[in-house]
Structure 1
Amino acid sequence: MCHHIRPKNVAGKHLTYNYYNVTWSQYGPYWRQARRMFITELFSGKRLDSYEHIRSYELRSMLHQLYRVSSARHPVLLKDYLFALNLNVISRMTLGKSYLNESEGAILSPGEFKKMLDEVFLLSGVLNIGDLIPWLDFLDLQGYIKQTKALNKKLDRFLEHVLDEHMSRRVVEGDKFVAKDMVDVLLQHADDPNMEVKIERQGVKAFTLDLLAGGTETSTVTVEWAISELLKNPEVIKKATDELDRVIGYTRWVEEKDMPNLPYIQAIVKEAMRLHPVVPTLVPRLCREDCKVAGYDIPKGTQVLVSTWTIGRDPALWDNPTEFIPDRFIERDIDIKGCDFKLLPFGAGRKMCPGYSLGFKVIHVTLANLLHGFNWKLSNDMIPEQLNMEENFGLTIPKKIPLAVVIEPRLPMHIYSI
């Protein structure tokens, strides 16, 4: 059997507190404990259900904002609204409040935080010469180490503030303390003397950054790509809205519990993730023993890169691979959780993203409600063939040019109130 570990690199060292997070930590007791904590505690069905009211409120708030700007019939940048939605959802779930909202004592503006997250994903996806040729690392030929260290300082200042505030609440409330958010849960585990491996403060900060970064980028990028593809395929929008009108009707919004009854919406999400995987190349792995794969000898120490972008466009696996055809998933039951290797948006195996269940919930219900609540048109009388579909490559692949759209409500006016 072929076993994999993570390679050591500059991004893992400086952006995850020396490999303290789930993504970059090495396979062993610390990683097993961290993954178990994420799956059974932070992303358990019970805990995610307990936060559904947060996701519902923030989504309704975004739909209300879109309704208000729709009357002007001016183009809106969809990504801005999606990012704010996902950042508010994940910050309230993780941090207990939005530290980016001025009324709640923000220490960063949403714009500053977005810029930091963009830097995290960009620097994590950059090809650093020193990672490939270690003896050149000290020269920092691209200025990459300097950039990652500077970014780490900014992130650390924010995370230290968050942890200090959470720790002070624990002291004030004493025996009456009840965990309200994911940082509270992480700090409780850090203090647990029965933990197999002690979770240090650095680990809590690394896990918190995992939650914030993973929870905003995945949903924002996927929904923007899905709407972009739909605008190029109006017949697909018609099928989706027909399903929504039939199942949901015109008197309410789509709820998370409705999703099993909306197979075509699910097919659209799968097709968007096939053509535009959030992470085009999965986080690298390092082969830790000699093995054989598909007849090839893979020596110990080989860095393994899995290109989900290429797999999703492979004509040997997909008919008409460059075309957006959600129906292909109606005809075939293809799993999206790492069991079907032709579709791996969250990876596979023990190293797959532990937060995929939250990602599914947010992406599906957001896309369903955007299609249910609004009609969509391209700005400035642009025809679908003119829509720019270039990608911006980093650790993730958002659209190079953000999608500008004109929207109009398609439900009764009172539905849009919060």
Structure 2
Amino acid sequence: MIFIDFQNCFICILLCLFSLLCYSLFFRKPKDPRLDFDLPPSPPSLPVIGHLHLLLSVLVHRSLQKLSTKYGSILYVRVFSFPVVLVSSASVAYEIFRTHDVNISSRGFPPTDDTLFAGSFSFISAPYGDYWKFMKKLLVTNLLGPQALERSRGVRTDELDRFYKNLFDKAMKKESVEICAEVLKLGNNSICKMIMGRSCSEENGEAERVRALVTELDALTKKILLANMLRMGFKKLVVALFKKEMMDVSCRFDELLERILVEHEEKLNMHHQGADLMDTLLAAYRDENAEYKISRNHIKSFFSDLLFASTDTLVQTTQWAMAEIINNLIVLERLRGEIDSVVGKTRLIQETDLPNLPYLQAVVKEVLRLHPPGPLFGRFSQEGCRVGGFYVAEKTTIMVNAYAVMRDPGSWEDPDEFKPERFLASSRSEQEKERREQAIKYIPFGSGRRSCPGENLACFFIGTAIGVMVQGFEWRIKEEKINMAEAVIGLSLTMAHPLKITPVSRTLRSLT
């Protein structure tokens, strides 16, 4: 009897503690920090969840942009009781990255430790520190720096030629083309060859598995971002809701990448002279005196990060670009005229042609301005600071709406119009002035230390892919205009109606 009473008492105590925890997390109204600090303005919130409903919007970048026009370009919101600062103007974003770059160079704590992506092994989500600096150095030296890009140019040239010939074959057969699918093959094959010296095999289904995994990972990113806004204890509780999904994708990536690692190790054991990023990573893994000791999971996580980040940018931007070009015949004719005059009509456009094609470069920049592949990106304040005249507390998630920044009417004339001419300058002095202005208001690849290091590679890819499709083909569509409605998969801005068009070759023989 005494035991039963003690057991009931213990259960009662546990229930009281659990109720107190729930109350503190969900129902207790958080103390208003405005009593102590001058925080940014805050729109009305809902009980318990705060402003969470705004971040769950189908087109969250649009809903946040609309919110900023009403309440201001820097806003204070909360997810449950956790603070988030939203930035939607070029001037405030520039102030953050110019003055507080080191303070906000982390993305918060990883939501989970035991997955290859968004975990403790991930380069993308790693805190700003020794590991991130070491991997960034390897990445620039062996893949994304000017010398590395020069060494791998032949790989991209071969894949671009294969991309063109595939389109030419479909044109001869009068077949329609799903732009996303074709560009995804181009991107995956190029990136895989640059990283590990070979593309993923189409014959045994390896390439298809990689593309499927990248797509699934993309769909998880919005959940990961929302979880990353929360403090560690509550974050783990939220992650538990989709942990099984994360682990499934992670395990399948692990199985695929382990086979690739074993293949490379066998080559190294046969005195293979390393020339790609994977060889360099394996050498660092084996080196006991390396600047930073990495594991096999670090390598596999790094590979999955690169595949996800690179192919998504290429695919979405190229699709948006072709839609904008086809909908704007004046742009199409001017772009095609430039390519024909500089490159000619007998050979295929190459990366080395891009510096001589300023209008093509302007088209790429304008597409990235209007349709950034990642419309939102997040940072995490290590210490309290002042931004735009307001106080941002320590351990606050800072979310920059790149979509809104690059459509800010205070920075851009006719911000919602597709006008590549805005990126053309007639003189060297104007070019320098425009470059300085763009550093403030043009952020499709983020800004600061944690900006995307693959900007140059992305512009090569997108510029040549667009160039090939404009130079080599006319394009037929069923409707009078392409539907430009937006959709968001994960955090990627894509077209609600994937672009499917029919190529008509401009020549009877394929270009060489």
What TM-score do you get using the length of structure 2 for normalisation?
0.74
**Unpaired segments ≥5 residues, structure 2:** 1-98
| Structure 1 residue 182 corresponds to structure 2 residue 280 | no
Separation of aligned partners in 2, 1:270 and 1:343: 9
Aligned to 1:342: 441
User: What is the CA distance between 1:18 and its match in structure 2?
Assistant: 2.8
Separation of aligned partners in 2, 1:191 and 1:397: 40
Aligned length: 405
Aligned to 1:249: 344
| Structure 1 residue 402 corresponds to structure 2 residue 498 | yes
User: What is the CA distance between 1:356 and its match in structure 2?
Assistant: 2.0
User: What is the CA distance between 1:136 and its match in structure 2?
Assistant: 4.6
User: What is the CA distance between 1:86 and its match in structure 2?
Assistant: 0.9
Q: Is the 8 A contact 2:364 2:459 kept in 1?
A: no
| Structure 1 residue 226 corresponds to structure 2 residue 321 | yes
Question: Which protein shows a greater Rg?
Answer: 2
Aligned to 1:290: 384
Q: Is the 8 A contact 1:15 1:120 kept in 2?
A: no
**Unpaired segments ≥5 residues, structure 1:** none
User: What is the CA distance between 1:365 and its match in structure 2?
Assistant: 1.3
Q: Where in structure 2 are the equivalents of 1:201-240 lying within 5 Å?
A: 201-240=296-335
Distance 1:133 1:259, change over 3 A: closer
Q: Secondary structure at the match of 2:404?
A: helix
Q: Is the 8 A contact 1:391 1:397 kept in 2?
A: yes
User: What is the CA distance between 1:78 and its match in structure 2?
Assistant: 1.3
Separation of aligned partners in 2, 1:155 and 1:337: 41
Q: Which residue of 152, 167, 181 corresponds with 1:80?
A: 181
Q: How well do the aligned residues superpose, as a CA RMSD in angstroms? A: 2.3
Summarize deviations over 1:313-339 as a string: whole Å, max 9, x none.
Answer: 111111111111111111464878996
| Structure 1 residue 110 corresponds to structure 2 residue 204 | no
Separation of aligned partners in 2, 1:285 and 1:39: 22
Q: Secondary structure at the match of 1:6?
A: coil
Q: Secondary structure at the match of 2:355?
A: helix
Summarize deviations over 1:277-315 as a string: whole Å, max 9, x none.
Answer: 011112x21101111111111111111111111112111
| Structure 1 residue 124 corresponds to structure 2 residue 221 | yes
| Structure 1 residue 391 corresponds to structure 2 residue 487 | yes
Q: Which residue of 370, 375, 378 corresponds with 1:280?
A: 375
Separation of aligned partners in 2, 1:167 and 1:226: 40
Separation of aligned partners in 2, 1:71 and 1:84: 20
Q: Which residue of 459, 465, 470 corresponds with 1:360?
A: 459
Q: Is the 8 A contact 1:12 1:24 kept in 2?
A: no
Identity of aligned residues (%): 28
Q: Which residue of 187, 192, 200 corresponds with 2:287?
A: 192
Query: In structure 1, what residue type is equivalent to 2:215?
Result: D
Aligned to 1:49: 150
Q: Is the 8 A contact 1:129 1:141 kept in 2?
A: no
Separation of aligned partners in 2, 1:141 and 1:86: 31
Separation of aligned partners in 2, 1:26 and 1:129: 17
Q: Secondary structure at the match of 1:305?
A: strand
User: What is the CA distance between 1:398 and its match in structure 2?
Assistant: 2.1
User: What is the CA distance between 1:216 and its match in structure 2?
Assistant: 1.5
User: What is the CA distance between 1:178 and its match in structure 2?
Assistant: 0.6
What TM-score do you get using the length of structure 1 for normalisation?
0.90
Separation of aligned partners in 1, 2:118 and 2:239: 23
Q: Is the 8 A contact 1:92 1:98 kept in 2?
A: yes
Q: Which residue of 19, 26, 29 corresponds with 2:120?
A: 19
Q: Where in structure 2 are the equivalents of 1:140-159 lying within 5 Å?
A: 140=238, 143-159=241-257
User: What is the CA distance between 1:252 and its match in structure 2?
Assistant: 0.8
Distance 1:14 1:229, change over 3 A: same
Distance 1:349 1:140, change over 3 A: closer
Q: Is the 8 A contact 2:110 2:126 kept in 1?
A: no
